Amino acid sequence: MTATLLAGCLMLATSCGTAQPAERASSPSQDKPPVVSNPVGTTPSKAPSKAPKQVKPTGNAINVHKARWTKAKPVSKGKKLQLTWQSGVEPCTVLDRVKVKETSKRVTVTLYEGTSPKAENVSCIMIAIEKTTTVKLKKPLGKRKVVDGAKP
């Protein structure tokens, strides 16, 4: 049974990359863009957007871990920080919470990501997207240094 299943999967995987016959490749319909079908149960994706996806903490993720951010930008006259990072797609990767520790000289911000409980029995694709979230500070940032709490 396992050998039959494995052989079927191998046959399916190798048949996906076969070339078109020469007479089809030279047909006038080549002027039109190819139609790309989506796997069953998925929705077509839009063109990639340049703006990061705005997310808010869910507070209910499982397998939570620290995630490193790539950019911290003061907004609202330094009363808030907008953080940007690379992450996986939802519901497979969600922002669980953000921890902010403020001192007189620095602001340490730690992002925590995990998997949504809704991701049970969901296939997760391995693709990175840019996400952003905004956090309030107790005091305006001023000249304080912003530090990533996920960095060693």
Q: What pLDDT score does 21 carry?
A: 42
pTM: predicted TM-score of the whole model, two decimal places = 0.66
Give the mean model confidence (pLDDT) for residues 30-58. Answer: 62
In this predicted structure, the answer to whether residue 105 has a pLDDT above a threshold of 50 is yes
- pLDDT band at 46; cut points 50, 70, 90: low
Q: Give the strands of the sheet with 129-136, arranged side by side.
A: 53-54, 129-136, 80-87, 71-75
Domain boundaries, the chain: 51-147
Q: Which of 104, 101, 95, 65 is nearest to 81 (CA)?
A: 101
**What percentage of the chain reaches a pLDDT higher than 70?**
68
Q: What pLDDT score does 48 carry?
A: 57
Q: What pLDDT score does 47 carry?
A: 56
Q: What pLDDT score does 22 carry?
A: 42
What is the average pLDDT value for the chain, to the nearest integer? 79
Give the three-class secondary structure for 69.
coil
In degrees and rounded to multiples of 5, residue 134 shows phi and psi of: -120, 135
Cα–Cα distance between 107 and 70 in angstroms, integer?
15
Buried b or exposed e, range 21-58, using 16+ CB within 10 angstroms: eeeeeeeeeeeeeeeeeeeeeeeeeeeeeeebeebebb
- Out of 2-6, 72-76, 91-95, pick the least confident: 2-6
Q: What is the pLDDT of residues 21-36, one digit of tens each?
A: 444 444 444 454 444 4
Between the alpha carbon of residue 43 and those of residues 39, 40, 46, 136, 140, the distances in Å are 8, 9, 9, 35, 42
Here the tokens at position 102 are 């403020």
- pLDDT band at 5; cut points 50, 70, 90: very low
- pLDDT band at 124; cut points 50, 70, 90: confident
